[in-house]
Amino acid sequence: MFVKKISNFVTLAFFLIAVFGLIANPQLSFAEISVDSYCQLTIQSLEQQIPQTQELISIVNQYKDNPETLNQQLQIKRTEYDSAKEALYSSFDTTAEEYVNYMSKNGAKVKAYLDANPDIKDQIDDLSAQLKALMEEEESLMGVGGAPTPPLP
């Protein structure tokens, strides 16, 4: 049961990273990265997203009483983060779209690689857990996923 939960968590982490990546750079290229490069890109992407999300939390706390300024500051930062994400993908000679599609084409290879490299799997799991907790904190501060909206009369 625990292994299944971890496996589901790793899948969720790859999905979250892929979704963020698709937003950052929806272009296509024709290079195919290795499984090792894919996993290293995943680690670096998580390592990049953790301090970015911490910064977003700080901004939300700073401007929580001024929604207009908050939205402006968040937009500025998200644009900056999208550029950083694009640069990260480029450094691996890939695109966000290729990254998103990689698991559908190479899922079995990635799983085998992570099974053979438990230290890398653990690193991805740990970073994913950190990012998930931060994203939940940010969503909570922003009021996302809060009380349901009452029905219209």
Tell me how far apart the alpha carbons of residues 108 and 118 are, in angstroms, rounded to a whole number.
15
Give the pLDDT score at 140: 93
Tell me how far apart the alpha carbons of residues 87 and 79 are, in angstroms, rounded to a whole number.
13
Task: Give the dihedral of Cα atoms 121, 127, 133, 137; nearest 10 deg.
Answer: -150
pLDDT tens digit sequence for 66-103: 999 999 999 999 999 999 999 999 999 999 899 989 98
- Mean pLDDT score, 102-130: 96
71 near 142, Cβ under 8 Å?
no
